[in-house]
Amino acid sequence: MGRWALDDIPWAQFDFSRLDPEIVKIVKAAALVEYNGGAYAHHLCRVFYDDPEFQANARRWGEEEIRHGEALGRWAELADPEFDFGAAFVRFRQGFRIDFDSGVSRRGSRCGEMVARCIVETGTSSYYSALRDSVREPVLREICRNIAADEIRHYKLFYRTLLSYSESEPIGLWRRLSIAFGRLAESQDDELAYAYFAANESARTYDRRRHGRAYARRAYAVYREPHIAHSVKMIFKAVGLAGNGRFSRIAARLAWAAFRRRAIHLARLAA
Question: Is 154 one of the binding residues for Fe ion (CB under 5 A)?
Answer: yes
Question: Is 67 one of the binding residues for Fe ion (CB under 5 A)?
Answer: no
Q: Output 124 or 231, the one with its CB closest to Fe ion.
A: 124
Question: Is 151 one of the binding residues for Fe ion (CB under 5 A)?
Answer: yes
Binding segment for Fe ion (CB under 5 A), chosen from 79-87, 113-121, 138-146, 170-178, is: 113-121
CA distances to 51, 169, 201 from 31, rounded to whole Å, are: 30, 35, 15
CB of 125 to Fe ion, least distance (A): 8
Question: Is 65 one of the binding residues for Fe ion (CB under 5 A)?
Answer: yes
CB of 162 to Fe ion, least distance (A): 15
Q: Output 65 or 113, the one with its CB closest to Fe ion.
A: 65
Q: Output 132 or 256, the one with its CB closest to Fe ion.
A: 132
What residues numbered 30-49 form the site for Fe ion, per CB under 5 A? 34
How far apart (Å, rounded) are the C-alpha atoms in residues 58 and 43? 9
Site string for Fe ion, 118-147 (x = CB under 5 A): ---x--x-----------------------
Question: Is 68 one of the binding residues for Fe ion (CB under 5 A)?
Answer: yes
Q: Output 117 or 233, the one with its CB closest to Fe ion.
A: 117
Report residue 58 CA to chain centroid gap: 16
- Interface residues with Fe ion (CB under 5 A) are 34, 65, 68, 121, 124, 151, 154
